[in-house]
Structure 1
Amino acid sequence: MSENLVIVESPAKGKTIQKYLGNGFEVLASYGHVRDLIPKEGAVDPDNGYAMRYEIIDRNQRHVDAIARALKKADNLYLATDPDREGEAISWHLYELLKERGALEGKNVQRVVFHEITKRAIQDAIQHPRDLAHELVDAQQARRALDYLVGFNLSPLLWRKIKPSLSAGRVQSPALRLIVEREEEIERFVAQEYWTMTAQNEKDAQAFSARLHTLDGNKLDQFDINNEAQATAVRGRLLKASNGKLLVSKVEKKQRKRYPAPPFTTSTLQQEAVRKLRFSTQRAMRVAQQLYEGIDLGSGGPVGLITYMRTDSVTLANEAIAELRDLIGQRYGQDKVPETPNFYKTKSKNAQEAHEAVRPTSALRTPEQVKQYLNEEQFKLYELIWKRTVACQMIFATMDTVSADLSAEAGSFFRASGSTIRDPGFLLVYEEGLDDRASEKESPLPPLTEGETVTLHDINAEQHFTEPPPRYSEASLVKALEEFGIGRPSTYASIISTLLSREYVELDSRRFTPTDIGRIVNRFLTEHFTQYVDYDFTANLEDQLDAISRGEKAWVPVMDDFWQPFHKLVDEKMESVNRSDVLQSRELGIDPKSGRPVSVRLGRYGPMVQIGTRDDEEKPEFASLRPGMKLDTVTLEEALELFKLPRHLGETEDGKAISTNVGRFGPYVKFGDQFASLKKEDDPHTITLERALELIAEKKQKDLEKIIREFDNGIQILKGRWGPYLQQVVKRSKVQARLPKDCDTDKITLEECLTLLTAAAEAKSSKKAAKKADAAKADGEPADKPAKEAKPKATPKKAAAKKPAAKKTTGSKKSTS
């Protein structure tokens, strides 16, 4: 009989903890959250104090049952889930479920927390249990309720006003705004030309360069030399004045110190894993979880290699610092150990100092010692964490820097800069990565003395163009999210994952670009829900959640402050916003073949080109944009090319012609007078006959599986998303009708089917006529007005001017920002 039952989230973590607790303890896993809000409207009731309706998660039902059975044999229940809000909430949910079953009667229930899975930490936690922290549970519930209320109210609005299956989130929407605004900034950017002048020098057979710093007594700004003629004139003048020699007019020597970066938080770990290891944020967190929960090092079971990886603290435990200082002295020399430990200040307002930074549980476990027990990605991440942690407790690096002014004529001089490392300090172990900027490393200069001359070989005049700000990478986006206070470090990976899965953004060359649908959703939210995608508002709400977790605020008033104005605004926008205003079409010009206007817009099935309008006698033509084509940048010529696509591939076995094309609902295969949609991986420009036949066979099979009953006159009862329905096909025209809820599809007669279809057709016709009359009334014209005259052809817009090619007088072409 086991007197003590310990609950953790994962079996891997449980296996490690079981080893440290030994006999008398049984460790079981909940496998994450055990219950969640019911996935439908009404799960959160704002009119009843935000009461939340939970249900057990199906996949975890058996794990809860196993815990309940094991509890019957135990006296003590230890809830040992992760030491954060989510972990606290998992423990609370499990407690509530077990209490509802009456399984806690006569049991001693305690909460235990630890920040590393080591024998000392586990045993210490068991000896110092506490009660559940309801303020942490309240904060997690408030966050969950907020996210639910935003999702279940904004998403249906997006479905109505833009297209089905869209979603909006409380933190994902401001994150999307960051990416879209950066893209718009790039599109608005106008390149500016500027030139740099670089002297190519030599002293004692050592070549070095110097940049023109001051001309005619004025320090050069970036755009002071901004055209080829000016650059050529300056170059020629300085070459003539110097006559092959430059005077060393000033030499300045300094020592500079570089200090190590603090140990990892969740955010900085994600950033460095993206920069240095080329991991995604999700991959970094997944591998970190494995290292935290434990790896079998071949000595009797798994060992936790790092501390808890969800933290915003840069604090290290005193015993960890002492161990690091000993290791540094033994491995790198006592001179690399600072006189006093390095301490770092946490930037986060809500950092819990009881938490530690992400560090190895023991720095004495060097990467090379554990490498044989780790897979490649585990080793890379462990090595990164180990090096960063060791470096943070080493002395600063000392750099010798030299700056020399080299005069060509009075009032005009070049400046050369160089640096050498006097003492590498922490750089022996680790150097922090950089985002979107050049490294500071400089080449050393030869010894220079004021008053001497050096040989000038040439002056390179180089043309440059300013560059737009770079698109966000995963690392720089995480950094921006942290700086703006959007979400919390533990949520960054899921924010990015959601934006990608919803196809609001794409990763191209490891940089984020917004998709057409992402831009439209962002425009809708920023225009109509400005406050709720505002960075300061989002950050302030996170601060309030933090205040709840500290017990400084009650969660229901915070919910009220958010919900009441938000709900009112959603209701207002549902009535006042027109879908056509949201899905603004962009006019491209006139189709020279038909004389009809060509436009692009977002359709129900994605971005598309349209030739003609609904008011034309001839029906509009449609074609979906190809991958890579954007609504905001596609040209008239590119749009018209989409209508020249049809490719004849061959015939079916029964002689029907097979062709491919792109239509209003996306790319498709046509066989006879029927159609089969292409899959995401299929390209209509390259699809083969064999693949087309596979899609046709799949389409026929699906059509057969949908048929419940067939009658004469082309009438069928089909399986639908919301139940069986009627359909009649006459000369490729479809009429559909709902079946009554209590209808027995086996007993309904042909006559009853015809009655339902006739009523549906008449209702559709009446609705169409009413819509036409309303449109005519709005224009102040009779409904049966004469056909419009043909519109004059519009002059197509000129293509944007291309950036001029870079030039040079001498030297190589470069482009810098």
Structure 2
Amino acid sequence: SYGHVRDLPSKDGSVKPDEDFAMDWEIDPKASKRMSEIAEAAKRSDRVILATDPDREGEAISWHVLDILTKKRVLKDKAVERVTFNAITKSAVLEAMAAPRQLDMELVEAYLARRALDYLVGFTLSPVLWRKLPGARSAGRVQSVALRIVVDRELEIERFKAQEYWSVEADLNADSPPFTARLVKHEGKRIQRLDIKDEATAQAARAAIAASPLTIRSIEKKPIKRSPAPPFTTSTLQQEAARKLGFNAQRTMQAAQKLYEGVDENGGLITYMRTDGVQTTPEGLAQAREVIADRFGPAFVPSEPRYYKAKAKNAQEAHEAIRPTNIARHPDSLRLDGDLQRLYELIWKRMVASQMESARLDRTTVEIETPDGQTGLRATGQVVTFDGFLAVYEEGRDERQKGAESEEDDDSSRLPALKEGAIAKVDAIRTDQHFTEPPPRYSEATLVKKLEELGIGRPSTYASILTTLRDRGYVRMDKNRFIPEDNGRLVTAFLEQFFGRWVQYDF
């Protein structure tokens, strides 16, 4: 069918709330030729198997095709079956064919409810916008909320007042290679990152460090474990491809679609790419464990497979996570086009890492004080003692607001071997002025993450929502960040004022 075959005509009255939400469908002109071919083929067959995609949209397409064939009277008493597979591989397709089912009407009704709501919101609001705001293009159930998120962030940035703060650091040595410690106690009081507000306080702290001898009061070593991230869902794939490969959501989904369909007669290279499930089939887990033992050795294989649970608000978890259909197919063994190769490698690494042993690190915290306990410094560092999954993959991080506290910021450095009670000599002291920064504008990765956190949209719609906002001229991209245009801000202000409930995050 090449995707959807019917839709609601874009005119008033396609959904009739007073008649139990009856809907008038129209066959897409491009699809009518294909539907005639399908009807001809159905006439000549003794059964019809509906094998559209395994999600709600796929179920809807099967329902539409079946409805059209019924109206064309080509089915008579032929058997109609629905099969779904999660990967286009010989074994997955044969397995699906062996276990046909009936259409899942609950999924179809979920689709119908969403489609009716989208139509009613779009068709009620868009004409109002056209009349009241020249230049406004459209409103939509998901699109208008996504735009509001971008506009709200811009307002937050405009209201933001920068705060001055100072950091005080010292380069020390205790008959050891040099290491750096930062001020955590001044005049007997604990100091948080933003506590030193001006240069005078910073200089007073500097003088206090320089004036007194410093002693290493305690050294605490803590073993910590880091566990891998689960394999990809649609949303995490889009986020990570944006961070690591610089792809926008649309480019990611186009490449994923090609990998799913496969590039040669060997079939699909990855499982279905519209999913919010993080679980993996038993065969997938066994394959991953075998590959890990083979490539990295038995120490990297945990005693039990790892099982993951979805965190997203409205996760449907009907499908497994996105993974290579054959995990033994290493990225180096494939010769794919640029985007496909890079995306396949990302998916392969993430899947393999998700089943590997945790990374083990030693985190060391060294407390240094003056004899009177009035001034204190702290040095932190961590050392990886066992790579575990880090041998393959580390998840990307989004930029954080400057001035936000984080434990991990100072931990990446290694500390020399030190002894408790040793005297620490000061090599240099630095006082630096900083200003807090406003929250960053959304990138594709962080906006998709926000939509998912709020339960807005579905894996199948993230890419098209972001594209619509750009195409309507409501936002522009600057250094891969969303900046609302004036008419985007106007539309949001108008909708919040007069149709507030419709652009609530939880509508």
Superposition TM-score tier, normalisation by shorter sequence: over 0.9
- Structure 2: gaps of 5 or more residues: 401-405
Q: 2:362, 2:384 within 8 Å by CA — same for their partners in 1? A: yes
Select the structure with the greater relative contact order (CA < 8 A; seq sep ≥ 6): 2
In structure 2, relative to structure 1, the CA distance for the partners of 1:405 and 1:163 (3 Å cut) is same
CA displacement at 1:117 relative to structure 2 = 1.0
Instruction: Pick the aligned partner of 2:324 from 347, 353, 360.
Output: 360
Deviations 1:453-476 (CA, angstroms, capped at 9, x unpaired): 233111101101011111111111
Residue in 2 aligned with 1:493? 463
Distance in structure 2 (CA, Å) of the matches to 1:337 and 1:302:
29
Instruction: Pick the aligned partner of 2:454 from 475, 484, 491.
Output: 484
CA displacement at 1:162 relative to structure 2 = 0.9
Is residue 45 of structure 2 the alignment partner of residue 85 of structure 1? no
Distance in structure 1 (CA, Å) of the matches to 2:195 and 2:293:
52
Is residue 226 of structure 2 the alignment partner of residue 258 of structure 1? yes
Q: 1:267, 1:479 within 8 Å by CA — same for their partners in 2? A: yes
In structure 2, relative to structure 1, the CA distance for the partners of 1:233 and 1:309 (3 Å cut) is same
Q: 1:239, 1:458 within 8 Å by CA — same for their partners in 2? A: no
Query: Which residue identity is paired with 1:342?
Result: R
In structure 2, relative to structure 1, the CA distance for the partners of 1:353 and 1:235 (3 Å cut) is closer
- Structure 1: gaps of 5 or more residues: 1-29, 539-817
Q: 2:259, 2:344 within 8 Å by CA — same for their partners in 1? A: yes
Residue in 1 aligned with 2:41? 70
Instruction: Pick the aligned partner of 2:298 from 328, 334, 340.
Output: 334
In structure 2, relative to structure 1, the CA distance for the partners of 1:204 and 1:375 (3 Å cut) is farther
1:194 partner SS: strand
Residue in 2 aligned with 1:715? none
2:461 partner SS: helix
Instruction: Pick the aligned partner of 2:442 from 453, 468, 472.
Output: 472
Q: 1:256, 1:399 within 8 Å by CA — same for their partners in 2? A: yes
Is residue 1 of structure 2 the alignment partner of residue 33 of structure 1? no
Residue in 2 aligned with 1:401? 363
Deviations 1:451-498 (CA, angstroms, capped at 9, x unpaired): 112331111011010111111111111111111111122211111111
Residue in 2 aligned with 1:419? 382
Distance in structure 2 (CA, Å) of the matches to 1:278 and 1:186:
24
Q: How many residues align?
A: 499
Residue in 2 aligned with 1:435? 398
Distance in structure 1 (CA, Å) of the matches to 2:350 and 2:465:
26
1:454 partner SS: strand
2:259 partner SS: helix
Q: 1:216, 1:410 within 8 Å by CA — same for their partners in 2? A: no
Distance in structure 2 (CA, Å) of the matches to 1:353 and 1:164:
40
Q: Which structure is larger by alpha-carbon Rg, 1 or 2?
A: 1
Instruction: Pick the aligned partner of 1:47 from 18, 30, 54.
Output: 18
Query: Which residue identity is paired with 2:48?
Result: L
Identity of aligned residues (%): 53
Distance in structure 2 (CA, Å) of the matches to 1:174 and 1:101:
40
Deviations 1:316-342 (CA, angstroms, capped at 9, x unpaired): 101111111111111101011111111
2:437 partner SS: coil
CA displacement at 1:205 relative to structure 2 = 6.1
Is residue 252 of structure 2 the alignment partner of residue 284 of structure 1? yes
Distance in structure 2 (CA, Å) of the matches to 1:325 and 1:234:
54
Deviations 1:49-94 (CA, angstroms, capped at 9, x unpaired): 1111111101122111211222222112111000111101111111
Trace 1:639-788 onto structure 2 (pairs within 5 A): none
- Please say which of residues 384-393 and 429-438 is displaced more in the overlay: 429-438
Residue in 1 aligned with 2:403? none
CA displacement at 1:535 relative to structure 2 = 1.1
1:434 partner SS: coil
Q: 1:85, 1:137 within 8 Å by CA — same for their partners in 2? A: yes
Q: 2:260, 2:271 within 8 Å by CA — same for their partners in 1? A: yes
Instruction: Pick the aligned partner of 1:130 from 101, 124, 132.
Output: 101
Q: 1:92, 1:137 within 8 Å by CA — same for their partners in 2? A: yes
Q: With structure 1 as the length reference, what TM-score do the two structures score?
A: 0.60
Deviations 1:252-294 (CA, angstroms, capped at 9, x unpaired): 1110100000111111111101111110011111111111111
Give the aligned CA root-mean-square deviation in angstroms: 1.5
Instruction: Pick the aligned partner of 2:242 from 264, 271, 274.
Output: 274
Deviations 1:524-546 (CA, angstroms, capped at 9, x unpaired): 1111111111112x2xxxxxxxx
Is residue 179 of structure 2 the alignment partner of residue 208 of structure 1? yes
CA displacement at 1:204 relative to structure 2 = 5.2
CA displacement at 1:295 relative to structure 2 = 1.6
Q: 2:60, 2:111 within 8 Å by CA — same for their partners in 1? A: yes
CA displacement at 1:223 relative to structure 2 = 3.5
Trace 1:65-464 onto structure 2 (pairs within 5 A): 65-164=36-135, 166-203=137-174, 206-242=177-213, 246-296=214-264, 301-348=265-312, 350-370=314-334, 372=335, 374-411=336-373, 412-437=375-400, 440=409, 442-464=412-434
Q: With structure 2 as the length reference, what TM-score do the two structures score?
A: 0.96
